[in-house]
Amino acid sequence: MRNFFLQFFQGRYGSYGMDKLTKFLLILSVIALIVSLCSPLGFLYYVAFALLIYSYYRLLSKNITKRYKENESFIRINQKIRLFFGRTKHKINQSKNYHIYVCPKCKQKIRIPRGAGKIMVRCPRCMTEFKKKA
Ligand SMILES: [Zn+2]
Residue 128 resides in a domain:
no
- Kindly state the DSSP code that residue 38 receives in the 8-state scheme: S
Q: Which pTM does this prediction carry?
A: 0.64
Residues with beta carbon < 5 A to ion ligand 1? Answer: 103, 105-106, 108, 123, 125-126, 128
Query: For the chain, how many structural domains are there in total?
Result: 1
**Domain range enclosing 66:** 2-97
Q: Name the nearest CA neighbour of 132 among 114, 120, 115.
A: 120
Mean pLDDT per 10-residue interval, the chain, length 134 residues: 74 87 95 93 93 94 93 96 94 87 93 84 92 78
Compute the mean pLDDT over every residue in the chain, rounded to the nearest whole number.
90
Q: Judge whether 117 lies within some domain.
A: no
99-113 residue pLDDT tens: 888 999 999 999 888
With respect to residue 124, please indicate whether it lies within any of the assigned structural domains.
Answer: no
Domain contains 102:
no
Distance from residue 93's CA to the centre of ligand 1 (Å):
25
Q: Is residue 59 part of a domain?
A: yes
Assigned domain for 104 exists: no
